Amino acid sequence: MIFAAILAGGIGQRLNSESPKQFIMVGNKPILIHSIEKFLEVDDFNKIIISSPKDFIDYTKELVEKYFPKNDRLVVIEGGAQRKDTINNSIEYAIECGADENSVMVTHDAARIFASPSLIKKSIDYAIEYGAASPVIPATDVIFKCITPNKLDSVPLRKELLHSQTPQSFNIFKYKKIYDDLNEEEIEKLDEAMVLFNLRGEDVYLFEGEQSNFKITRPFDLELAEFILINNV
């Protein structure tokens, strides 16, 4: 079984938004709806799990029903306090739906509205083959490492640096076993699903992402997304 977890728990702080950023309108539709549309184009999913802040669950359900009436592949659940908690909630729901040892979870930032269906499909296929997978794009700028405030400590080799993207995918029960074995200190350091595999020496297959698959985080990103949608760039 294949499950998607669309992570829609952001509050829009860096966008200066009064509501969570997944509800901001761009191209005449909420950000969240754009992401759901891309995932619905992929037939592999048994369920597409949409997380929501507790206070916005009813509103999220109303939006989903408005744009995708009576679609039984879509379900809205309560997100967690942190990203890892939201992923765990999604995993628990998948297990309740019958996920087995071969099942895959695909996690995706709702604010990445331009991820193509082909990218999503690749993430599924590579997770099935390798156990975990993530799209990446090369770093184009020189990166400074700064440990001491306002002081350059080192310059990593740019050719060794990659920007991670979502959708990231992994075997559900492999993830759960690793997560359950972590101590509290390790858990506190986590914010991405793939880190779990790195902490335990598991391989994560990296494949070519898409430059257009940027995350809407700041006002400029919102303006760029609007431009792309209006002009069909």
Read off the pTM.
Answer: 0.92
pLDDT above 60: residue 103: yes
Sorted by sequence, the CB contacts under 8 Å of residue 163 that are 6+ apart come out as 136, 137, 138, 139, 209
The CA-atom distances, in angstroms, between 224 and each of 43, 153, 155, 167, 210 are 29, 33, 30, 21, 16
pLDDT in tens, 8-67: 865 656 666 667 889 999 999 999 999 999 999 999 999 999 999 999 999 999 999 999
pLDDT digits 0-9 by tens, 120-139: 999 999 999 999 999 999 99
pLDDT digit string, tens, across residues 216-225: 999 999 999 9
